[in-house]
Structure 1
Amino acid sequence: MFSLELFEKLPVKILTVALLIILTVYLIRKSIKLFFDKTSFLDAKREETLMHFSNQVTKVIGLVLFIIYVLSHFFNLTRFFTGSVVVASALALILQHIIRDYIMGLTYLFERQIHHGDFVIINGNRQGKIEEISMRYLKIRQYDGYLYTVSYSSIKELQNGNRGMRRVIESLVLNYKQNPDDAFRVMEEVARTCNEKYGEYLLKDENGVPLESFKFNHITELNVDFSGHRYSISGLVKEEDFVEAGKKVRYELAMAAYKNDLMMAESLSTIR
């Protein structure tokens, strides 16, 4: 009798349900992992991505079920959600961005646009390796060590490095008062220097010919942050050499800017 009364107490019931949800989530995750371990119709990277995503999905679903269960003891949820047009409208407005994130996340995943561990460039100004793929956002580890979180609905442009090849894209943002002809001459020289010094990083065909040498792409963006124009250099390199090649190209750009007294762009806050 004592144990039955104890079970009927709300805190014990909530704790029991929480433990059951945790156990169910654990068993689902183990089953999915066992399934991938026993099958081989997907490549390892794809399996890792789906595993990572399924872990996030089961965590969110388990949390939502637990919250609904707890609230059901204090509110008549059916009457609350169906009887109030105002509440329903407010919830629709609040959740529209969340729902959009979920839909876009599923689109990115099932169209195989992203994988766990991929190197990506988000909206042209954030780049790094994907560390986490959740239902609503990506977490990207940048080269400076910072972890950048971006929701799917805020992604306007996504560049993904293909497996086996990566495109190095490095640039200088020069002051709008800089003579473009002088900048073009310097950037062309940097591209030639990179091809001569770092040609071993370039991806080559079966005849040893680079698929895409380092080249100057002219002005790729005007009036960046209202301070100057972007001049960029790119080249197609082997995936394993991507980081090192990027460092070398950045060094050559910095040295060229120093030797040729190029006018770098300045933030408006630094201009007096």
Structure 2
Amino acid sequence: MFNLDLFQQLPVKILTVAVLIIVTAYFIRKSIQLFFDKTSFLDENREQTLMHFSNQVLKGLGLVFFFIYVLSHFFDLTRLVTGSVVVAGALALIFQHIIRDYIMGLAYLFERQIHLGDYVIINGNRQGKIEEISMRHLKIRQYDGYVYTVSYSNITELQNGNRGMRRVNESLILNYRQNPDVAFKVMEEVARTCNEKYEEFLLKDFHGAPVEGFKFNQITELNVDYRGHRYSLSGLVKEANFVDASKKVRYELAMAAYLNNLMMAESGEFENKKSFDPQG
């Protein structure tokens, strides 16, 4: 069952198979990307989601095929699997949660329940923007800046805020020397301005009132890339108006930062240069 003579040629064979798997995965990934570039029947978020998920699948399948190939040189896998019902049953019990995660992940993807960038609420207590969709889990960026990872089998309730609506979420990264009290007043004024000037973009309920107007979410992340703090503003808008609303909000933020002389975050290299510049 175990053959030591195979070690003479095994390294070359393993290396060849590994290279073939990598090259094949690369061409499949490029083909999918080329297909999406040449077609337009899917929106950009949908394409990005499918690309991300297909990359995860290719990685997983590549690793599985590679390990099966390596093990096949040392063991008779057919006899090992078919000859032991107990082992097969134990493996099924061990991997049942993993298999369930894969199946539920495929269901969420192909039923178009989630996309990259969607704003979701999971199990009623975790909310944020989807940053990663893998084969087994979701990763969402919460308002506090933390990344929350949840496996599909642990999702009992999922609310998607991007069905027929989109959440504009724009921010300013201000220098850590900026007085937060001043920044708070400016951001709150920007939220009021956006509600007055761009009310037509907001999603309305049956009574014609905004479901969620533009609002200042205060400091949503500290020490962003060691440069400063993130001050965020968000609002729930109609999906068709998402791009225009985002542009308008970014303009208002930029104008407010200029008029109020807010201290924008700068790269550490630039700040150090200013600090040590003898002519500064």
Once the two structures are TM-superposed, the CA of residue 108 in structure 1 deviates from its matched residue by 0.4
Once the two structures are TM-superposed, the CA of residue 204 in structure 1 deviates from its matched residue by 5.2
Q: Does the residue aligned with 1:81 lie in a helix, a strand or coil?
A: helix
Give the root-mean-square deviation of aligned CA atoms. 3.1
* 2:256 corresponding residue in structure 1: none
Once the two structures are TM-superposed, the CA of residue 120 in structure 1 deviates from its matched residue by 1.1
> 2:103 corresponds to which letter in structure 1?
I
* 2:95 corresponding residue in structure 1: 95
* 1:145 corresponding residue in structure 2: 145
Structure 1 unaligned segments of length 5 or more: list them.
Answer: 1-5, 169-195, 215-235, 245-272
Alignment of 1:162-201 (within 5 A): 162=162, 165=165, 199-200=195-196
* 1:43 corresponding residue in structure 2: 43
> 1:145 corresponds to which letter in structure 2?
G
* 1:172 corresponding residue in structure 2: none
* 1:65 corresponding residue in structure 2: 65
Moved over 6 A (4+): none
1:124 maps to 2:116: no
Provide the rounded CA distance (Å) in 2 between the counterparts of 1:15 and 1:87.
30
TM-score (norm 2): 0.60
1:7–1:13 CA contact under 8 A, matched in 2? no
Superimposed CA distance per residue, residues 248-272 of structure 1 (whole angstroms, 9 cap, x where no aligned partner) = xxxxxxxxxxxxxxxxxxxxxxxxx
Q: Does the residue aligned with 1:86 lie in a helix, a strand or coil?
A: helix
Once the two structures are TM-superposed, the CA of residue 163 in structure 1 deviates from its matched residue by 5.3
Alignment of 1:245-264 (within 5 A): none
> 2:147 corresponds to which letter in structure 1?
L
Q: 1:70 to 1:79 in 2, by over 3 A?
A: same
Provide the rounded CA distance (Å) in 1 between the counterparts of 2:30 and 2:128.
30
> 1:59 corresponds to which letter in structure 2?
K
Once the two structures are TM-superposed, the CA of residue 58 in structure 1 deviates from its matched residue by 0.6
Q: 1:7 to 1:35 in 2, by over 3 A?
A: farther
Superimposed CA distance per residue, residues 147-194 of structure 1 (whole angstroms, 9 cap, x where no aligned partner) = 2211100001111112563589xxxxxxxxxxxxxxxxxxxxxxxxxx
> 1:210 corresponds to which letter in structure 2?
A
Provide the rounded CA distance (Å) in 2 between the counterparts of 1:106 and 1:141.
22
2:119–2:127 CA contact under 8 A, matched in 1? yes
1:120–1:128 CA contact under 8 A, matched in 2? yes
> 1:156 corresponds to which letter in structure 2?
T
